[in-house]
Structure 1
Amino acid sequence: MYVVESKGGGVVLMIAALILLGTWPALFNLLERRGRKPQHTFLDYCLFNYIVAILFALTFGQIGKSTEETPNFITQLHQDNGASVGFAVAGGILLCLGNIGTQYALAYTNLSITEVVSSSLTVVGGTILNYFLDGRINRAEILFPGVVCFLIAAITGLLVHASNVDDHNTKLGRKSKGWLRNVTAKEDGDPLPPHGLTKDALDDSARGVPVDVEKAGAKSEASSARGSAQFLAEVESRRSIKVVGNGVLIGVSILCFNGACYALFSPAFNLATNDQWHRLPEGVPHLVVYTAFFYFSTSFFLFSSIVNTIFMYFPILGAPKSSIPEYLKDFKGRHWAVLAGIICGLGNGFQFMGGQAAGYAAADSVQALPLVSTIWGVVLFGEYFRSSKRTYLLLAGMLVMFAAAVGLLMGSAGTRQQ
């Protein structure tokens, strides 16, 4: 079995995981905005996520000689380690629920804010649990200021979302309830006139009065520029999950649910590999990280398949209805869903390998993935284009807090004593 023993190696794996785990939600968002049904995307994603876990187990988990303390993957499949397997299975189910929530939250909020709030709640809960489960191997004087930075980033992220909603309402000619109240207030949801134009803009155009295409979203070469009213209206018309007229509170509630699931899945995996509660029979070695990752991903795959098959026939949160035959015929965008599964599988594997080497509390630094997601949000989806100065200032503050947080959590890394 291949083991990463150095703190430096663990940090390198965390950085790689940070980039990978910040990328797969962007592919989910891309497909949903292009109209692909979320149930189809998730089924493709979870299958290839599982394939990656199997490859980790059969390669890294089988490298080198098997010993009594660190048996190889196949050797562990026959050992009496059911208690640790149970924690790994629970972690996979929790991650599945969090990922499903993330998929729907992306439609109700946006890529950047979904990752900000979910990741911050994950750190506030999960990192503290991992710190004590790991026997305090991480430096508390560095770790906990990092947790505080994550919390500040989460609060700032909610304010960014509220300000951005207000900017969108202004562009689309909707009445605004005030940028701060948009965190919990229900949007007016007034239907948009054709092409995103307000009634006043249509009247002005009919009279020959020049129309500001940035504010009115007039149909012209500039009307679909990123951040314009026409651009926003076109995105809403194409996406598979219809959210116009729904309250922002729904999105925030989903994010809180995500955060709770994400906060618990990493400690569950920690318990699976290190048996801090001494549930294994005497003489039975701890699950190696690759065996735990295999069981974790098996439960993730099975639970995801069941839940998303049910959601095909009984959709939730504005998603369209589907069926298994329709899914099997849907190849549009499938390659992106497959890539998302591979990327997430690699990211999870690297995170767990790094956590085993340097402590799972430090490995939670990968929850600064909004740094990556925000870049993808701007590059791929035009998020925050033509927003107000207030939104830009809040966004900058949020990213600074995340940068500080990831540096502090990685700086707190310790060395696990075997």
Structure 2
Amino acid sequence: MYIVENKGGAIALILFAILCGGSFAPAMSFMERRGRLPQHIYLDYSIANFLVAVLIAFTFGQIGPGKVGMPNFFTQLSQDNWPSVLVAMAGGLALSLGNMICQYAWAFVGLSLVNIIVCCMIVDLGTTVNYFLDGRINRAEFLFPGVACFMVAVVLSSILHSSNAKDKKEKLSSLGVDFNLEISKDSDAEEEQKNGCCDENTAPNLAKPGTAEFLAQIEKRRSIKAAGTSTTRGLAVVLFAGLCFFVFSPAFNLATNDQWHLLKKGVPHLVVYTAFFYFYLSGFVIAVCVNIWLLYRPIASVPASTMEAYLRDWNGRHWALLSSLLCGFCNDFQFMGGQAAVFATADAVMASPLICTIWDIILFGEYRRSSRKTYFLLTSMLTLFVIAIGVLLASAGHRKTA
């Protein structure tokens, strides 16, 4: 079994997890903006996500012999470790629900802002819980200033969203039409969505990013019609997702380190790979059940679909599979790094909106042709995330793995 035991290796894994974590959400949002149904995207995502967990458990979890108190993956499957297994599965349920909610919130509030608010909630709540669960191994003089940087960043992100929304409204008003009514009249997009699929190769020739025409074409094409939706309603959805997300990291910490002493005496703690397997198993089950239901009982004005339509819908499936690979490796590297450098430091992965915002600008033309105020707020927010990453990594402690 492969175990990271030094702080340097753990920090390297956390940095790589930030890159993966900031890239998976844009990959998912990319096809929704081209008309693919969110139910189809998430079914692909959850199936592949579970396969990643199985692959990691069968490889990293079985490399070489086990250590004292740290048996290999297959050995742990037959041990009496169900209390820790149930805690890991609870964390997986929370993460899966949070991801499903975010998939709709991205359309209502925006990719960058959703990820920033959610990640800040995870850091402010989850990191504090992990700090005490890990016996205060972290250097508090660095950890909590890092958390404070996240809190300031979320305030700036809210102001940024307001400024960017105002810029968009001014751009769309220049079209001289009632945009919220016009997007419901796009018969070509509606016909494609009734068939439960889209064709990324037939996407319309978009106008220059940042223009009013560009924004209008994106909203007409996407499967979740978010134009005209109350921002307050969207933010409420995001906050609920954040509460789901904040649970998963402390739950995984408890599952692997058993701070509440739930296991019987002499039973080894779950190793990262075993906990990861059960973590994603529960997330896979709830995701498949919920999204099959949503095929026939959709929400947020998304067209209904069927299992047959889902199985026939191969357009953009590779993007959903790429997203699941990125997310799976992000979480695995975060947990591997957290086991060595403690989970409070590993929550630096939640600075992934730094990467996500960059993809948001490159792929979706977000913030282009905006006001100087918006550019200033964007620069200030991204700078704070860079500072927060550095300070949180500086707070890293070292957990003895044997």
Pair in the same fold by TM > 0.5: yes
2:214 aligns with one of 223, 231, 236: 231
Task: State how far apart, in whole Å, the 2-side matches of 1:29 and 1:311 are.
Answer: 18
Contact 1:171–1:228 (Cα < 8 Å) also in 2? yes
CA deviation string 1:162-213 (max 9, x = no partner)? 11111111011189xxxxxxxxxxxx975359999xxxxxxxxxxxxxxxxx
Pair 1:294 & 2:277 matched: yes
Residue 253 of structure 2 is matched in structure 1 by 270
TM-score using structure 1 length: 0.88
Residue 417 of structure 1: how far off its partner (Å): 2.4
Specify the structure having the higher radius of gyration (Cα): 1
Q: Of the candidates 342, 353, 365, which is equivalent to residue 336 of structure 2?
A: 353
Segments of 4+ moved more than 4 angstroms: 192-196
1:224 and 1:260 mapped to 2: Cα distance? 38
For the residues of structure 1 that align with 2:3 and 2:96, how far apart are their CA atoms? 27
Separation in structure 2 between the aligned mates of residue 279 and residue 193 of structure 1, nearest angstrom: 54
1:241-256 matches, cutoff 5 A: 241-256=224-239
Q: d(CA) in 1 for partners of 2:155 and 2:119?
A: 12
Task: Report the TM-score when normalising by structure 2.
Answer: 0.92
Query: Bigger CA drift: 311-320 or 95-104?
Result: 311-320
SS of match in other structure, 1:244? coil
1:366 counterpart (331, 349, 363): 349
> 1:305 is matched with which residue?
288
CA positional deviation for 1:30: 0.4
Q: C-alpha distance in 1, partners of 2:347/2:206?
A: 42
1:191 aligns with 2:181: yes
2:4 counterpart SS class:
coil
Match of residue 385, structure 1, among 343, 363, 368: 368
Change in 2 beyond 3 A, CA 1:396/1:195: farther
On the 8 A contact 1:160/1:394 being kept in 2, the answer is yes
Classify the secondary structure of the residue corresponding to 1:191.
Answer: helix
1:116 and 1:319 map into 2 onto residues whose CA distance is 25
Q: How far off is 1:66 after superposition? A: 2.3
Matches within 5 A, 1:122-271: 122-173=122-173, 190-192=180-182, 224-271=207-254
What does residue 71 of structure 1 align with? Answer: 71
1:86 lines up with 2:86 in the alignment: yes
Q: What is the alpha-carbon root mean square deviation over aligned residues?
A: 1.9
Partner residue of 2:268?
285
Equivalent residues of 1:189, 1:246 under 8 A apart = no
Q: CA deviation at 1:319?
A: 2.0
Segments of 5+ residues of structure 1 without an aligned counterpart are 176-187, 197-221
> Which amino acid is 2:24 matched to?
W
Q: Distance between the aligned counterparts of 1:147 and 1:292, measured in 2?
A: 27
Separation in structure 1 between the aligned mates of residue 302 and residue 158 of structure 2, nearest angstrom:
24
* 1:340 corresponds to 2:330: no
Q: Out of 314-323 and 73-82, give the one that drifted further.
A: 314-323
Deviations 1:231-284 (A, max 9, x none): 010001000000122101122112111211111100000000000000000000
| Residue identity matched to 1:415 | H
Structure 2 unmatched runs, 5+: 187-204
Q: What is the aligned-residue identity percentage? A: 51
Range 78-87 or range 223-232, more displaced: 223-232
Q: 1:246 and 1:70 mapped to 2: Cα distance?
A: 51
Q: Distance in 2 between matches of 1:342 and 1:43?
A: 14
Q: Deviations over 1:282-311 (max 9, x none)?
A: 000000000000000101111110011111
- The question of whether the paired residues in 1 share the 8 Å contact of 2:41 and 2:320 is answered with yes
Residues in 2 aligned to 1:127 and 1:223: alpha-carbon distance in whole angstroms: 42
